[in-house]
Amino acid sequence: MQSNLPEKVESASVHFAMKNAKWIAIFSLVLPLLFFTWQVTTHISQEREFEAWRIEVQGYDPRHILKGRYITYRFNYPWADGAATDCSDFRTSCCLCLRGARENPNASLVNCETALETKQCQGLLRKDYKGRDRSKKNFSIGLTEYYVDERAAKTLDKMLRNNEISMSVDVLLAPKGQNGHAQMTRKARLGELYIDDKPLSAILDANELPFE
Amino acid sequence: MLNIYFLILFAKSKKRLKTLQLCGILCVMRVKAKLKKWQEKGLLDEGTSKQILDYERARMASHFSLGMQLCGGFAVLLGVALIVAANWHELGRQAKIIAHFILNISVSIWLFKVGYDRTKPVLQEILTLGLFGLNLTFIALIGQVFQLDGTIAMALFVWMIISVPLVMVYARSGFTAWIWLIALYLTAFLLLKEYGVLLEDEYERFLLAYFVSLFLPLALYADHCMPLTQKFRPKFAAAFRKTSILAFVVGASLSSMLFYDGASEIAREAPSYLVHLVCVSAITGLALVYIALCHRYFSKYDDYDYDWGVLLLSAAFMGLPLLSTLESSVLAALHFVCFWGAIGAMAQKHGAEGIVNLSIALIAIRLYIIFIELFGDALMDTGIGLIIAGAVMIMFVKLAQKFKRYIGQRGAVQNAE
């Protein structure tokens, strides 16, 4: 379509763009850099501050679409005796409560508000249930994919699914609050991955892949 | 590396280079044929015809050059990415982050300098596309290094947000505009797919999807009409216009499929039929009002009557099948035929010959399909159906030819006057 716009368009937005062209250009280039700086510093500080809870994992199908790069698993929670293992009683307020040792802690599902009041948990991760997942029996905190480079991912994934190795991962949660009891967090992160209690990064650095 | 090899191999062979140029030559040939026809009819003199032809040849040559350079730039970037990927495990996580950051800063500074000088438009375009891609790979790298549990939709969403100013400030070509639009539509689709499930029920998800599928192309079309876009980014404006109209026309055409069983299923998901009626009417009505208001506002800048007419018609035809719970293949065909009939009539009035031909072809094919659907169970019925459909198709073609002749005669009379 042939535009009939006059040569000098009388528009405030056009004038603004022409007057501040240099600053708009700088902003457009700096914005992504600022975002990446903020992301990297946030994640590095979270890695330092967050508390690691090591939980065992087990193999799981279907595998990741980029199989060969990721290990896919699900958490093998060490549920505490008599603790609730589904969220259907707690409606939308459902938390994963971790207690005891940092390695293989006792896990239970609790009402988030009650857990905060009673200070019964050392690690508390909130899971919001929306849509039809509300009554789902299998509680999931996500974080079920771990990036491993192509030298090891495919083999490890297969060995995990065949129960040939034991694997655990560090789940990083927000640190304790001022009163010493767990702060509730909605966002957890993954830390180190362990194969037979040895950190994967150390195994890869030393080129000691046990299965090669 | 394979891509670079093929590209060099391709570019080195003169024979293949000629094949690449064929596309441009064909376009020029099409113009040449038309110019010859217009010259014969006395509409153009020889001098003007030669000038137009020379202009088209020069334009196609620059298109070809730009396209090849962009392809080359893309292949180089892909090659570098593959080499880095092949040695990925050798790099520590800090090294990966720092190297990517330095790469982003370097390309940003280079782009700023090139953009400031305004002397190398092709390099500026390649750097913009490169930085646009690097922003995405940096997001992916952060997700990978810090083992984040993000979704592809969220990664694309963040990418679009942080890259919009970059693309809008530095990109100029239609090629970049189309890439950006594909990324935008893909992001919208994945966001709806992944985060739509956060809504309470399926009917709410449908309403959200319907709203977005109407208003995303409309917003882009309105952006195309804005003086700022028209003045500074004419190629982007053209791409916005084309994708928006394409999305609406394809959407309206496909919505006729809802008469088979989709619409009644959607209505069953709603709390009641009345609620469904009100919700669909409200969203469609809102879209129609938006189109009307935009048309009124932007008509002071240019004549967009034809475009707004197509958008208005498409929005109305998109909403129609959703309001009915009837399941009928005849209604589906009728909806499609009426829509394309109206589009054809508008195109004829506007002088868009290609769209008129397209609408006639689509209507004929759709009628052919409905006859097969109606008579398609047994061999005997299929045979009768095919004969009737074939006869109807021939009749339509004859009618179309008569119609075209009539238009031609009318045009000749108007020219003579």
CB atoms within 10 A of CB A133: 14
Q: What is the mean pLDDT of residues B103-122?
A: 89
Tell me, what's the ipTM? 0.79
Q: What part of B 120-149 touches A (C-beta under 8 Å)?
A: 131, 135, 138, 142, 144, 146-149
pLDDT in tens, B243-272: 999 999 999 999 988 888 777 788 888 888
Distance set, CA B134 to CA B88, B131, B282, B394 (Å): 16, 5, 42, 55
Please give the pLDDT value at position A178. 57
Choice between B26 and B309, residue whose per-residue pLDDT is larger: B309
Residue A26's closest chain B neighbor by CA? B112
Q: Could you give the dihedral angle defined by the CA atoms of residues B70, B76, B80 and B83, in that order, rounded to the nearest 10 degrees?
A: 130
Question: What tokens does B348 get?
Answer: 């004829």
Check residue B239 and give its pLDDT.
Answer: 94
A79: which DSSP letter?
B
Instruction: List, as ranges, residues 211-270 from B with C-beta within 8 Å of A.
Output: 226-228, 230-232, 234, 237-238, 241
Structure confidence at residue A65 (pLDDT): 59
A106-110: strand order across its sheet: A106-110, A93-99, A123-128, A184-185
Q: With bands split at pLDDT 50, 70 and 90, how would you rate the model's confidence at B142?
A: very high
Alpha carbons B281 and A29: distance in angstroms, whole number: 43
What the block records as the tokens of B360 is: 């006639």
- CA B257/CA B331 separation, integer angstroms: 10
Q: Give the DSSP letter string of B247-281.
A: HHHHHHHHHGGGGTTHHHHHHHHSS-HHHHHHHHH
> Contacts of residue A203 in chain B, CB cutoff 8 Å?
none
Look at A43 and B115 and tell me if their CB atoms are within 8 Å: no
Q: Which portions of chain A are predicted below pLDDT 70?
A: 1-14, 61-68, 84-86, 89-92, 128-139, 177-182, 209-212
Mean pLDDT, chain B, whole residue set: 81
Q: What is the DSSP letter of B13?
A: -
Nearest CA in chain A to B88: A149
How many residue pairs from chains A and B have C-beta atoms closer than 8 A?
114
What are phi and psi for residue A51, nearest 5 degrees?
A: -95, 135
**What is the reported pLDDT for A22?**
85
Q: pLDDT, tens digit, for every residue of B43-71?
A: 888 888 888 888 888 777 777 777 777 77
Nearest to B1 by CA among B62, B63, B83: B83
Q: What is the token pair recorded at B226?
A: 């804005």
Euclidean distance between CA atoms B401 and B395, whole angstroms: 10
